[in-house]
Structure 1
Amino acid sequence: MKDRFYVPAVCTESSTKIQTKMPKNVRKWEVFPGKNKFCCNGRIMMARQTGIFYFTCTLIFVTSGLFFGFDCPYLAVYVTPAIPAVGGALFLFVMATLFRTSFSDPGVIPRASPDEAADIERLIELPNAASPGTYRPPPRTKEVVIKGQVVKLKYCFTCKIFRPPRASHCSLCDNCVERFDHHCPWVGNCVGKRNYRYFYLFILSLSILCIYIFACVLTHLILPSPRRLVILLLCFH
C-alpha cells in the first residue's frame, strides 16, 4: 500500500544558491482523490464511515469476553481445558482476518491523469472539417479482444478510465475497485480483489466462533454445577 501511493518530489536547483535543500517527498495517499482515510503513513486504508466497524469490533469483544469470563472457567474444570484454548484461537483468527479486511487496499484502480484523460477524448474526436476541434464525451463502453473473446469495458466518468471486467465504482469511497463485490459497512471497507479472501475467511471463522460459543453456553446450561447439585440434594432431603 505504501509503495502504490508514492510520488517522488522534484527539486529545482537555483544558480544563486550553492546548496539546495530537498523538499519533503509527497506520498500519493496524502493527495489521494478518493473518499478514504489513511493511517500509519499510508499503510492502513479505510473508508471514512467507520462507525459500524467499531460497532462490529465491540460486538465481537463483548460476546467473547462474556464467554471467556463466565463459561470458560466452568467448562475448563468440569469438561476439558482445551475449550478456552480453542475459543481463544478462534477469537484471534477472527480479529486478524477482520483487521486484514478492513485495513487493506481492496484493489483500487488508479485514476487517469489529466493528460491520459485528454488523450482518451482526443481519440474519439469527431472528424468534422466545418468545426475543427469539436469532440464528444467518451463513450460509455468500449469493446476489446482478450484471448480471442470480445469483452465490453465500461467507462468511468469520475476516474476517467475504462474499467477492467468485473470492476465497479464505489460511490461511498469514490474509487474504481477491481473485482468489486460490495462495500461492507461492517468491516468499514470495500470488498474487492485484494481483500476478498480475507473477507471470506472472516465470515467463515466468525460463523464457526458463534456456533462454538453457542454450543459451549448450551453445555454450561445443561451440565449440573456443584451448587445445583447441593440445592437438589437439599430439596430431596
Structure 2
Amino acid sequence: MVIGVLALQGSFNEHIAALRRIGVKGSEIRKPEQLECLNALIIPGGESTTMAKLAEYHNLFPALREFVRAGKPVWGTCAGLIFLANKAVGQKSGGQELIGGLDCVVHRNFFGSQLQSFEIELSVPKLADNEGGTDICRGVFIRAPGILEAGPDVEVLADCPVPSDNAGPVIPGGEDLEDKILFQDRVIVAVRQGNLLGTAFHPELTSDTRWHSFFLKMVKETDEKTLQCISTSERPMENFHEKKPYDLPIFE
C-alpha cells in the first residue's frame, strides 16, 4: 500500500513520518502522473494560497479532481481541508482554486492570524471507537480554518469552542453566512464524507497516530469494496461458453 502526500509546501514531511510510525510507506507527490499508482492521498497543512499556485503551475488540479471523483480516499489537514471543500469563504482577493468534493463551506482563516494559533483537547468519540484509547485527542490549530456548514451526507467527527477573544471573522462583501459566524459558540473542525476526511487541525504534529490509522482503515475499506465490485461483475468462463452466440444482422 502506498499513501501519497502532496509535497508542494507545508507539513508533508511530518505526515510521511507519522505514516512510517504505523508501518506505511508515504510517497511525496508533486506531479499529476505520480497520482496514478497511489491507494490514497494526504493533502497537508501549509499556506493554502501558495499551495494552490504551485498546484496550478504543475497542472495538478485536473488530476486531483479526478482522483477524488474516482472514489480514492483523500485526507486534507488545515490547508488540505480548504482544498477539498466545495466552497471556501474569507479568501484573499481573487480567491483560489479548489479541488472540491467535500460538501461543506469552510472559512479559510476562521481562528485568526498566526499569532492566534492554539492547542486544545478535542472530544472525538469515533476515533476512540475505531482506534481505541481515550476519546480525547490533541488539536493543534495553526492559523486554522473552520467548517461553517456541512451537508447532510457529511459526518461531523469533532467540533471546537470558538475562543472567547474571537468574536468571529467577518466575511468581506456582507455574505449571508456572516451572522451564522458571529453568533456561533462552536465550530466544526473534523468531518468525513465517504472517501474524504477533513481536519482543520494538524494531527501530524502530535505523537498520536490514531488519525493516520483511522485514514488507513478508510483506504482498506475502499480497496475491499473495489474487490467486491470486481468479483461480482466477473462471469465464470464455463457460463460464457454455455451461452448461445448472438444473431448479428448482416448488412450488404
Query: Which of the five TM-score ranges fits, normalised by the shorter chain?
Result: under 0.3
TM-score (norm. length: structure 2) = 0.22
Q: Where is the helix percentage greater, Structure 1 or Structure 2?
A: 1
Q: Which has the higher strand share?
A: 2
| Higher RCO by CA contacts (8 Å cutoff, separation 6 or greater) | 1
**Largest Rg, 1 or 2:** 1
- With normalisation by structure 1, the TM-score equals 0.23
